[in-house]
Amino acid sequence: MNLFSLLLDTATRSPNATALVTDDRTLSYRDALAAVEGLAAAMHARGVTKGDRIAGLFANTPEHFFAYFAAARLDAIFVPLNWRLSEGEMASVLKHAETKALVYELEFERAATGLAGCAEWTAPVGDLLAEATCARPPQSTDDPAAIAQLYYTSGTTGNPKGVMLTHGNVGTHAASAVRELQLGPSDRWAHIAPMFHLADAWATFAITQQAGVHVFLSRFAAVPALDLLERHRITITNLVPTMLNLMAKEPGAAARKFSLRAMLSGGASIAPEVVKQVIATFRCTYVQTYGMTETSPYLTVSLLDDAQRQLSPAQQLALQCRTGRAFDGVDLVVVRDDGSPIARDDKEVGEIRVKGKTVTKGYWRNPEATAAAFDARGYLCTGDIATIDSHGFVNIVDRKKDVIKTGAETVFSTEVENVVYQHPGVLECAVFGVPDALWGELVAVAVVPRAGMRVDSDELIAFCRSRIAHYKSPRIVRVMETLPKTGSGKIQKRRLREGTA
C-alpha cells in the first residue's frame, strides 16, 4: 500500500473524469496525476528522497491535494502546517520534524520567508510545478508500515507532538470510509474544513479512490460555504460543529437548493438543537462522527441500521445526535480506570479506548508520549468520557480534562452546552470550569449572541436552571464577540479557562 497508488489507479481507470474544481479551474484525473508527477519530479531534483519530511503551507486548493500525493510518490513524509499558528509555533514544528523542504503557496510567502532557516530549502509550489522535468523519480515502494504523514497536535514551542500515520493507516481508513458512507464516482466532496486537519484530509484519499469530484473553498466563511454547496451541487462533506452552526443560522440558508445526500459533523461535540437546525437547513441525512488525529480519524459514526430506520423520527434523531457505533474495522471499548468494561446501560461513564489498523503507532521521536498514550493491552487511550448502550452506541459526555468538579458534584460540559444552545439568543457557546476557593470549580459559560440580539447573564442562568439541576447551571456568564478557536475550528476551552481569550 502506497497512497499515491490511489491516484494512479483512478487516473488510469478514469483519466477524463473530473477530479478537482475551483471557481476558475477544472482538472481531470489525468491532469491531476500529471501535476503530482511534475511536483514530485521537481522536489526529487532538489534532493527529496525516501523518508524526508516535506512541510506544506497551503489553504484548501488543488495544490494542497498535489502535495499530499507528491510526498507519497517520493516515499517522503508530508507535514501539513496549520497556517493559523504563529511563526514561532510553526518553526517549532519544522525543527522537531527535521524538515527537508517547506513548500508553500504565495499567500503564505511572508511566513515562509521567516521560516526559511527551519528547512534545508523552501519554494513556492508554483515554482516547483514550473520546474517539472521529464526525469521521473524512482518507483514508489509498497510499504503499508511506512510513515506517510505527520500531523502535529500541539504547535507550542515547548513540546510539539507529531502523530505518525502510515500509508496503511490512511489507506485502510479510506477503504472503510468508502464502505461506511457508500462513496462513489457520483459524489462531489466540498473541501471546506481545513485540509491540514484530518476532519477533511481523509477525503483527499477516499474520494480519489472512487473517482469522485473534489471542490475547494480556500477558507471558511458561512456564506461562501453555503454558496459552494449550492452552486457546485455538493453531495457530501464533513464540517466541524462551529461551521455547521454558523451556516445553519445564516439567514436564508434553508431556502437554498442543495444537492446533499449526507452531511457529516466531526471534530467536536454538537448540541441536539444545532442538529435539528442542520437537518432542517440541508434536508439530507445527518451523520455524527467522532475520531482523533491518532486514528486517521474516524472511530464512530451515527449511521442507522435498517431496524433503527423504522423508529419514529424523534427516536431516530436521538440516535443520530449520539456519538455513534464503532467505525468499520475499529475495536472500541469503554472502560473504567482499571480497564474493566462499564455497564452497557447508557448511564455509567468510562473512557473510550481503541485498537485497529487505522490507529497510529505513536508520536514522532517521542517514546515517552507514545508509551503514555496506550494502556497495558495496547489500546489507545482517547481521553474522552462516554456512556454506551445495549446496541453499542456510545455517547461522549466530555473530555477528561473538561469535566468540571464543583463541590462534591461532577458536571459534564456538553450537557450544559446542549441546554445553552436552546436559548434563542445564543449563536455559539462553550462551558468550562473556573477555579473557586470554596467549591473547587464553578461552572462558567462563554456565549456569542446572534446578530441583533442580546443575552442577559441573569436571564440565561435562570433559563438553564429551569431545565437542569442548579449545580450544573452556569454561575458565570461571559458574553463575547467571538470564541477562540483552533485552526480546524474547534473552540479552545483552555484559553477560556486561563482567561487569555
DSSP class of residue 261 equals: S
Q: What is the mean pLDDT of residues 60-82?
A: 98
What is the CA angle 385-388-389, rounded to 5?
A: 160
CB 250 within 8 A of CB 281: no
Higher pLDDT, 405 or 15: 15
DSSP class of residue 82 equals: -
CA gap 359, 377 in Å, rounded: 14
CA gap 195, 204 in Å, rounded: 8
CA gap 31, 11 in Å, rounded: 9
Residue 260 has pLDDT above 80, yes or no: yes
Q: What is the mean pLDDT of residues 218-229?
A: 97
Q: 342 pLDDT band (50/70/90 cuts)?
A: very high
In the three-class reduction of DSSP (H, G, I as helix; E, B as strand; rest coil), residue 240 is classed as: coil
Is 257-399 the same fold as 4-169? Answer: yes
In the three-class reduction of DSSP (H, G, I as helix; E, B as strand; rest coil), residue 361 is classed as: coil
User: Residue 359 has which C-alpha cell?
Assistant: 490507529
Architecture of domain 257-399: 3-Layer(aba) Sandwich (3.40)
Q: Where are the domains of the chain?
A: 4-169, 257-399, 404-498
pLDDT of 155: 39
pLDDT of 321: 87
Least reliable range by pLDDT among 35-49, 153-167, 426-440 = 153-167
What is the CA angle 185-188-194, rounded to 5?
A: 130
CB 259 within 8 A of CB 270: no
What is the CA angle 30-34-36, rounded to 5?
A: 115
Of the candidates 191, 291, 281, 201, the residue with the CA atom closest to the CA atom of residue 244: 281
Across the chain, what does the average pLDDT equal? Answer: 94
Give the position of cell 442580546. Answer: 454
Residue 330 has pLDDT above 90, yes or no: yes
pLDDT of 133: 81
- How buried is residue 438: exposed, middle or buried, by Cβ count under 10 Å (0-12/13-18/19+)? exposed
CA gap 266, 272 in Å, rounded: 14
Q: 159 pLDDT band (50/70/90 cuts)?
A: low
Give the position of cell 472503510. Answer: 176
User: Residue 201 has which C-alpha cell?
Assistant: 484530509
The helices-and-strands tally (H runs, E runs) of the chain is 16, 24
Q: 117 pLDDT band (50/70/90 cuts)?
A: very high
Least reliable range by pLDDT among 317-321, 330-334, 429-433, 487-491 = 487-491
Q: What is the mean pLDDT of residues 332-352?
A: 96
Q: What is the mean pLDDT of residues 304-318?
A: 89
Q: What is the mean pLDDT of residues 30-52?
A: 97
User: Residue 501 has which C-alpha cell?
Assistant: 481569550
Residue 302 has pLDDT above 70, yes or no: yes
Beta bridge partners of 111: none
Residue 269 has pLDDT above 90, yes or no: no
Please state, for a pLDDT cut of 70, what percent of the chain lies above it.
99
Answer yes or no: CATH 3.40.50.970 is held by domain 404-498: no
Strands (E), 142-192: 147-152, 162-166, 188-191
Q: Please name the helix (run of DSSP H) or strand (run of DSSP E) that holds residue 206, with its range, or none.
A: helix 198-209
CATH number assigned to the domain with residue range 4-169, chosen from the 4 options 3.40.50.1100, 3.10.150.10, 3.40.50.460, 3.40.50.980? 3.40.50.980
CB 293 within 8 A of CB 153: yes
Strand 77-80 with 101-104, pairing:
unpaired
Please state, for a pLDDT cut of 90, what percent of the chain lies above it.
83
CB 334 within 8 A of CB 293: no
CA gap 20, 25 in Å, rounded: 8
Residue 157 has pLDDT above 70, yes or no: no
Of the candidates 408, 425, 428, the residue with the CA atom closest to the CA atom of residue 417: 428
pLDDT of 156: 32
Residue 86 has pLDDT above 60, yes or no: yes
* Residue 292 to residues 43, 81, 306, 459, 484, Cα–Cα distance (Å): 30, 17, 28, 37, 20
Q: What is the DSSP string of 120-133?
A: SEEEEHHHHHHT--
pLDDT of 486: 80
pLDDT of 440: 85
pLDDT of 408: 72
- How buried is residue 261: exposed, middle or buried, by Cβ count under 10 Å (0-12/13-18/19+)? middle
Residue 158 has pLDDT above 80, yes or no: no
Q: What is the mean pLDDT of residues 95-118?
A: 97
